[in-house]
Amino acid sequence: MRLFRPFSVKRTLRPLAFISIWATLVLACEHEEKQELKAGLWRGEFEVEGEKIPFNFEVKAEENNTQQVYLLNADERVLLEGIKVEKDSVVIPIELFDAFLIGKKENTTFTGFLRKNQGTQKGTPFQASFGEAHRFETNGDEPAANLSGKWDVEITSEGSEPNKTVGLFRQEGKKLTGTIMTTTGDYRYFEGVTDGNQFFLSAFSGSSPRLMKGTITDSVNFSAELISAGGKSVLKAVKNDQAALPDAYTLTYLKEGVDRLDFSFPDLNGKPVSLRDDKYKNKVVVVTLLGSWCPNCMDENAFLSPWYKENKSRGVEIVGLAFERKDEFDFAKEKLTRFVNRYGIDYDILFAGKADKKAASEKLPQLNAVLSFPTTLLIDKQGKVRKIHTGFTGPATGSYYDEFVKEFNSDIDALLAEKKTI
């Protein structure tokens, strides 16, 4: 009598067992091949002009088996969607800047390049590590001074005249955040540290990474270098609680004898749109000059889009005149459609031409000049231009942004309260 049956693959592994093992092997291979980034915090470094520029991002796994990436800068979280995995490569699109991060993921590292879709160069190299939340390496020295407050900052780039700006910084212990305001807009969110008499700040929200490294002379003076792919600039700063820029409502104005704006540009369907159209008659109109490539324009439309949804029933309209990287309608339509979708824009966006201030000035000859993207015009019910604001002070400027929003709402309220005269 046989006490046991000899092992037999044929007898032991039945069809369902074969299917189960096969499916497990296929899924394992697919998982290994996909090489998704680990969910959690990452720290990266770009190599620019011989310098390491750190940046932070977070990877989140979604319920539909996809991933999202958030670029992190102080209080800012920039969402990047549409992550693609191609064998051992990961591609992270940065759609609004027409760029992408592409690299190879190996266990807890991600190494590659920041590339522009329109560029011909190899790109800006980077390397990132999983599980690291800090931004800068430091010696741990106590800060030589507290940089919190307002500063007169003179920025000089090679071959150009000094540019007078205002620095806004906030220091909590060794942590340092801030931005720089100019007459055309702000530098958005910087984040970093102080270390003895040195400080380091960086920013990357999808366009060019930036590094500011400085030396604290004393409690009211510092010098620094500002480094990006565009080159290096030198900063000299003096603390000044009264630091201020020229009034943003005085820089761009109508030429003498002119009281209104006149234009006709195509919308994204190719239909010509003008302020003479019935849609805009007897209404308060906000006209903004923008570009889908422009970070300050992104900040402005992130404000205007929900504001318009809440206020359009009051008799106010918004129209955006977009100046893009190429003077080609199909190219502009693609970029602007992304822009519209990203910010949920319900108002008209028109293609006005190439992103060149001189060319834009020629398209809008009623203005003394187009000095900045964005530039925002407030027009009354008679069709007359009442105020023009050059640049945009975004949320990174804190109280300056709050003040802009307050004044904007006050101006709109006043214009809406005016009666239409025949």
DSSP 401-419: HHHHHHHHHHHHHHHHHSP
The fold adopted by the segment(s) 264-417 is: Glutaredoxin (3.40.30)
User: For position 340, what pLDDT does the model report?
Assistant: 98
Among 275, 257, 135, residue whose Cα is nearest residue 192: 135
149-239 is classed in which CATH architecture? Beta Barrel (2.40)
Looking only at the bridges linking them, the beta strands covering 316-324 and 348-354 are parallel
Class of domain 40-130: mainly beta
User: For position 421, what pLDDT does the model report?
Assistant: 65
Among 404, 406, 380, residue whose Cα is nearest residue 394: 404
Among 112, 130, 127, residue whose Cα is nearest residue 37: 130
User: For position 35, what pLDDT does the model report?
Assistant: 63
* pTM score: 0.89
- In the chain, where the domains are located: 40-130, 149-239, 264-417
Mind giving me the DSSP string for 275-310?
TTSGGGTTSEEEEEEE-TT-HHHHHHHHHHHHHHHH
Task: Give, for all 422 residues of the chain, the pLDDT tens digit.
Answer: 443 344 343 444 444 444 444 444 444 444 444 568 999 999 999 999 899 999 999 999 987 778 999 999 999 999 999 999 887 889 999 999 999 999 999 989 999 999 988 766 689 999 999 999 999 999 989 999 999 999 999 999 988 899 999 999 999 999 999 999 999 999 999 999 999 999 999 999 999 999 999 999 999 999 999 999 989 999 999 999 999 999 999 999 999 999 999 999 999 999 999 999 999 999 999 999 999 999 999 999 999 999 999 999 999 999 999 999 999 999 999 999 999 999 999 999 999 999 999 999 999 999 999 999 999 999 999 999 999 999 999 999 999 999 999 999 999 999 999 987 65
For residues 289 and 200, what is the distance between their CA atoms, to the nearest angstrom?
A: 34
Quick one: angle between helices 329-343 and 295-311, nearest 10? 60
Do 40-130 and 264-417 show the same overall fold?
no
